[in-house]
Amino acid sequence: MSDWLINYQAGFVRRGLPGQVLYMIYQAHPFNVPQAVLAIVAVSSVLLVALMVRIFIKKGWSAAILPLGCCFFFIFLSTSQRKDSLLLLLTYCIFVTYKRYLHSRGLGTWLIFFALSAIMLLSHEASFFFCFPILAVYAYRYNVSHSDATTIADTSMKARLTKTLMPMAPVAVVMGAVCLCKGNMPTAVAIWHSWSDAFAQFPDGIHDYAYTMANIGDNVEALSWKLLSAARLHLTVNLFGVLEVADGPWNILIGLPGLVVLFVMTYYLVTHLNTVRIGKYKMANDTAREISNTLLLQLVFMLPMFTILSCDYGRTIPYWVLSTLMAVACFGRLDIAALDRLTERIQSKLQHPALKSTWVYTLIVVFTPLTSMYAPIPQNVLQYKALAAAVQHIIAVL
């Protein structure tokens, strides 16, 4: 919840736009801030579900994958007070707006694109990684396919890169400003104390989250984290094992091998989403090759989130999967020769009849360690205990 309370009362700082808007509204008309945040999250979550169901029906994809951990499960049930649904909605709006800009090159359309982009980056800077790199690739491919072959200047790589990157340059400036103004402890304390009146006026909503003037919310306090120490913490958890905390492990993955298993299983589940057929609408064929290229490239672009920026796969995996599906729905198949060859090699190894079985697909769903540090659900606890026992046995044998 405290992620929404970051504002600009101590100066410009990352992730402060939503909190500043809430703060300004509160100053004009006091209200219960936690309840308002829950309402925003609820509305954005419903809109995200409606959007994805509409996309799946339009594309002929089986919506059976949507309730799984790689899509909605952890976002809605475990991190339900965060900005995830809002960020994903903004991502889709940015994709649609930029697609229109590519066709029209109109200033008005670009201004809408820039406004949406700035709002998203000022809300959460990590959204940059699952939105703009893949958007730039699609834009470049569009510029290549729509270049004037009779004009040398229009067919050179430099010209195409310039045509692709120039409209996005202001977005990079916003991202740079957010990264520079990352905050510190005095900023966090000042922001927290700016809500003192809200704490006093509506103690019922605040006390539900154990917030007091002396107990700064975790996400506000995170403004004081040192970049290198935070990166080292996340990298240690992601690559070298499970980080133990007072109430149990943050995640159930056993370092890098667990990450590899997670990515492979997620790739299979997403590219073979039509294995489980539901509904009466017509299912699309060859979904694997339509989705695979974008899914693989998006994984590369999001490596910072899977290594040094986060260790919460209950949020980063849905970012990866849902942003990929949105991009494919908006722009179509990403035709890049190297990715085509890689997809063919991977898919050739997934042609075993068993992997096309609904039962096998369901079994892989059950044993895929899609996890969140905030979600010790029974499935994850059992997986963690099984993996821990296996590691202990291997160590004993060695």
Query: 155 or 70: which carries more pLDDT confidence?
Result: 70
* Residue of 75, 137, 186, 176 whose CA lies nearest to 334: 137
Say how many residues make up the chain: 398
Locate 255 and state its tokens: 């370092």
pLDDT for the residue numbered 106: 95
pLDDT surpasses 80 at 208: no
Mean pLDDT, range 61-69, rounded to an integer:
88
pLDDT for the residue numbered 121: 98
Residue % of the chain over a pLDDT of 70: 81
pLDDT-derived band of residue 204, with 50, 70 and 90 as boundaries? low
pLDDT for the residue numbered 10: 93
pLDDT for the residue numbered 286: 75
What tens digit of pLDDT does each residue of 364-392 get? Answer: 887 777 765 444 444 455 555 565 666 66
pLDDT for the residue numbered 73: 79
Query: 52 or 248: which carries more pLDDT confidence?
Result: 52
Q: Mention every residue, 6+ apart, whose C-beta is less than 8 A from residue 85.
A: 41, 44, 45, 47, 48, 75, 76
d(CA 8, CA 10): 5
pLDDT for the residue numbered 103: 93
Q: Mention every residue, 6+ apart, whose C-beta is less than 8 A from residue 381.
A: 252
d(CA 262, CA 253): 8
Per domain, the residue ranges of the chain are 226-398
pLDDT surpasses 90 at 282: no
pLDDT for the residue numbered 74: 74
Q: Mention every residue, 6+ apart, whose C-beta is less than 8 A from residue 194.
A: 7, 9, 10, 23
pLDDT-derived band of residue 272, with 50, 70 and 90 as boundaries? very high
d(CA 355, CA 284): 18
Q: Is the pTM of this model over 0.85?
A: yes
Element holding 390 (H helix, E strand)? helix 378-397
pLDDT for the residue numbered 377: 45
Mean pLDDT, range 187-201, rounded to an integer:
89
Locate 38 and state its tokens: 């829950």
What tens digit of pLDDT does each residue of 5-33 get? Answer: 999 999 999 999 999 999 999 999 999 88
d(CA 9, CA 192): 9
Question: Using an 8 Å Cβ cutoff, are 167 and 127 in contact?
Answer: no
Question: Using an 8 Å Cβ cutoff, are 40 and 248 in contact?
Answer: no
Q: First-to-last CA distance in the chain?
A: 46
pLDDT-derived band of residue 250, with 50, 70 and 90 as boundaries? very low
Angle between helices 255-271 and 313-331 (to 10 degrees): 30
Locate 146 and state its tokens: 């729509």
pLDDT surpasses 70 at 333: yes
pLDDT surpasses 60 at 269: yes
Question: Using an 8 Å Cβ cutoff, are 168 and 128 in contact?
Answer: no
Burial bucket for residue 378 (CB in 10 Å: 0-12, 13-18, 19+): exposed
Locate 389 and state its tokens: 């026992």
Mean pLDDT (the chain) is 84
pLDDT for the residue numbered 224: 87
pLDDT for the residue numbered 373: 47
d(CA 88, CA 319): 7
Locate 178 and state its tokens: 């957010």
Query: 206 or 89: which carries more pLDDT confidence?
Result: 89
Please enumerate, as own/partner, the contacts of 339-348 that have beta carbons within 8 Å and a separation of 24 or more.
Answer: 339/292, 339/293, 339/296, 339/297, 340/293, 342/296, 343/288, 343/289, 343/292, 343/293, 343/296, 344/289, 346/267, 346/292, 347/271, 347/288, 347/289, 347/292
pLDDT for the residue numbered 379: 47
What tens digit of pLDDT does each residue of 302-321 get? Answer: 999 998 998 788 889 999 99
pLDDT for the residue numbered 251: 47
Mean pLDDT, range 347-363, rounded to an integer:
88
